[in-house]
Amino acid sequence: MNRTKVLTAIAFAALLSLVGLLAIAGSPGLTRAQDDSMQGHALVGAWLVDSDSSSDINVPENMIFSSDGTLVDVQGSDVTVGVWEATGPSTATITFSAYFTDDNGDYNGGYTVRAAGELSADGNSFTATYTVESLNPDGTTSGQAGPGTVTATRIMAEAPGTPVMTLDEMFGSFEGTPEATPAA
C-alpha cells in the first residue's frame, strides 16, 4: 500500500469520526420515550469491536453508540447504521443492517444483525451475542443464523506519546512496493 493510500485512509477515517461526533453532538434528535433511560447509559460512546477473537486477521470495527439510540458501525471501508435500546443499566439490544449492490449498481441483498449486549462492571468493555439474517434481493430472508459472540473495549481519549520514528520513516517502508509503483 502506498503512502498516499494510507494517508487517504487515515484522513477518511478521521473525517468520518469527526462528522459522526458533530452529528451526535449537534443533533437535537427526536424526543422518544427511551431517551431518558439511555441518557447517561454506559454504552454511549465509541468502541473497538472484535467480531472474531479467534482470528488475528479479521478487520476490527469502530462502533459509536449515541444517547438518542442510533449507532454507526465502521468496519474497513464499510459504514453501517442502526439503532440500540437500553434494556437495563448495563444491558442493551442492538440492531443494524447493511445493503449491497452488484457490479451494475443494482440492489443485491444485505444483512441484518441483532444483538443483546452486556457491559462489564467497570463500563469499559462489553460482550454481545448476535444473530445474522441474510436479506435477498427479492425480499425473502434466510432466517436468523447464529449465535455469534463479539467483544468490545471502550475507545479512550489519549494524548500522543513519544515518537519512536518520523512519519517519513514510517511511510517510507511502503515506497517501492508494487502497489506504490505507478503503472507504465
pTM: 0.71
pLDDT per position as a tens digit, 130-150: 999 999 999 899 999 999 999
Hey, which bits of 34-140 come out as E strands? 45-50, 61-65, 70-75, 78-88, 91-101, 107-119, 125-135
Enter the C-alpha cell of residue 86.
437500553
Domains of the chain: 32-158 (2.40.128)
- Round to whole Å and give the CA distance between 94 and 91: 10
Helix (H, G, I), strand (E, B) or coil at 20: helix
Contact between 143 and 132 (Cβ < 8 Å): no
Block residue for cell numbers 425480499: 139
Render pLDDT for 13-34 as a digit per residue (tens, 0 to 9).
444 444 444 344 444 444 444 4
Q: What is the mean pLDDT of the chain?
A: 82
